[in-house]
Amino acid sequence: MNFLLDEVARATLRLAEAGVPSPRTDAEELAAFVHGVRRGELHNVADADFDALYWECVARRAAREPLQHITGRAYFRYLELQIGPGVFVPRPETEIMVGWAIDTLRAMDVADPLVVDLGTGSGAIAISIAQEVPRSRVHAVESDPEALIWAKRNIDASVHGDRVTARQADMRTALTELDGRVDLLITNPPYVPTADAAQIPPEVRYHDPAPALWAGRDGLNMIRELERVGRRLLRPSGAMAVEHGDGQGIDIPPLFPEEAGWRDVRNRKDLAHRDRFVVMRRADDWPSGHYERGERT
């Protein structure tokens, strides 16, 4: 075994002992970061003594600091994003929801689809849609000013960023000027139950921003609010996708009832075949927004 692989193996053991869920992958990602290459290019790196930086990075990861905070980068679909403290780290599960949104937009008979991403965080969802759906216009909303800095940084770095507009606002009240006009609304809202705090991995519990995580004892407080937001923003036949946590799939479809003008409410699964996000449409014959549940204006 060459020296590099031997050091990665030692780092893998150390991370495994610390309880890191993917020790080999993370040890390789850290090695790639130190050498300035992608993980798949490590075999091209010549044998050389790792300097102290590698083991400093391994120690930080063993202390359960997120890998993305150490390397400063996260991968999402076809994007490499800048990531650090103060912003939610995008997850692979969310890529499946974004794929559904992209397919849905491509199937729409709309020349310039209007999209809203509520709780944009790093901007991963908004930028992916702008990149993969030509002529789409995406409004990215984030309430946390620190997270918004990261979103704007990633938007500015993207060649498709000119079609993404980011603003600081409460997702429950934002974008009233778009009421009844939005083709697709997508959101990865806070959905972690405060009752589950003790079971949340330390990378999440201590490093992801609290406003992006917690949503009441059952985790559904914000999603309940978003039903009203969807009714306000979406045009008739407009589509919506809402990510949720494990075990919440059974509770969310009833929050979007037919009598409030919703149709085609379905749970969709993630990479592990678990319910991960709910999709729905506004009924064709219901006007958007300013009415109470089940009452037309």
What value does the mean pLDDT of the chain take? 90
What is the average pLDDT across 241-249?
92
Q: Catalytic residue, from 23, 188, 190, 193: name it.
A: 188
230 closest CA partner among 191, 169, 263, 182: 182
Enter the tokens of residue 200.
Answer: 């949340």
Rounded alpha-carbon distances, angstroms, from residue 73 to 81, 143, 181? 5, 22, 34
**3-state class of 283 per DSSP?**
coil
- 188 assigned to active site: yes
- 189 assigned to active site: yes
What is the average pLDDT across 14-38?
92
- When mean pLDDT is compared across 1-5, 122-126, 287-291, the lowest value belongs to 287-291
Give the containing element (helix H, strand E) for 157: helix 145-157
Q: Catalytic residue, from 33, 50, 76, 88: name it.
A: 88
pLDDT band at 81 (very low <50, low <70, confident <90, very high): very high
31 closest CA partner among 19, 10, 171, 16: 10
Q: Is the dihedral of CA 123, 128, 133, 134 positive or negative?
A: positive
291 closest CA partner among 251, 259, 252: 259
The pLDDT of residue 291: 42
Give the containing element (helix H, strand E) for 141: strand 137-142
Q: Give the residues across from 10 on adjacent strands.
A: none
Q: Catalytic residue, from 66, 90, 113, 189: name it.
A: 189
